[in-house]
């Protein structure tokens, strides 16, 4: 069911510093910051030949990323995102398999439908599915 790895998301305590590390130190191409109020994050994508790294920073007091940073002040890996052909079919399949779908299908940073799956159902890893 899952397709290619779309991105690995890393929460950073300082978005400008994190962007600079990937751009200036590692020589990667990075996007401009994009605020996503409906997700409570500001994101920067690091373009790699085979996938992307998503740098996440809290946007607003109620950001789930702010809570992540409270527990992990230095930041860290937050989730992995896999592509699926049909997000609605994937959601139904996950529910039928007993996996916990977190919230509703939303529009993600790439303007495509996404959903999240509970980390306790996936070896301790928060999983995002994005419609290809």
CA distances for 67 relative to 23, 24, 40, 89, angstroms? 27, 28, 11, 31
pTM of this structure? 0.93
pLDDT at 60 over 90: no
β-strand partners of 31: none
pLDDT of residue 2: 94
Half-sphere exposure of 59 (CA within 13 A, CB side): 14
Domain span including residue 69 = 5-131
**How many structural domains compose the chain?**
1
Mean predicted lDDT score pLDDT of the chain: 96
Tens digits of per-residue pLDDT, 89-114? 999 999 999 999 999 999 999 999 99
Q: Note whether 8 and 25 are within 8 A (CB).
A: no
pLDDT of residue 132: 94
pLDDT at 61 over 90: no
We report the CATH number of the domain holding residue 57 as 3.10.180.10
Catalytic-labelled residue, pool 54, 83, 128, 130: 128
Q: Is 32 designated active site? A: no
Tens digits of per-residue pLDDT, 47-59? 999 999 999 999 9
């Amino acid at each position: 069911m899952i397709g290619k790895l779309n991105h690995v998301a890393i929460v950073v305590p300082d978005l400008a510093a994190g962007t600079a590390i990937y751009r200036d130190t590692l020589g990667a191409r990075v996007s401009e910051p994009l605020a996503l109020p409906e997700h409570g994050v500001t994101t920067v994508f690091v373009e790699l030949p085979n996938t992307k790294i998503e740098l996440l920073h809290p946007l607003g007091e109620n950001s789930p990323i702010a809570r992540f940073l409270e527990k992990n002040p230095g930041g860290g890996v937050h989730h992995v995102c896999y592509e699926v052909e049909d997000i609605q079919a994937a959601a139904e399949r996950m529910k039928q398999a007993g996996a916990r779908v977190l919230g509703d299908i939303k529009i993600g940073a790439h303007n495509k439908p996404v959903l999240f799956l509970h980390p306790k159902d996936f070896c301790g890893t928060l999983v995002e599915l994005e419609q290809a």
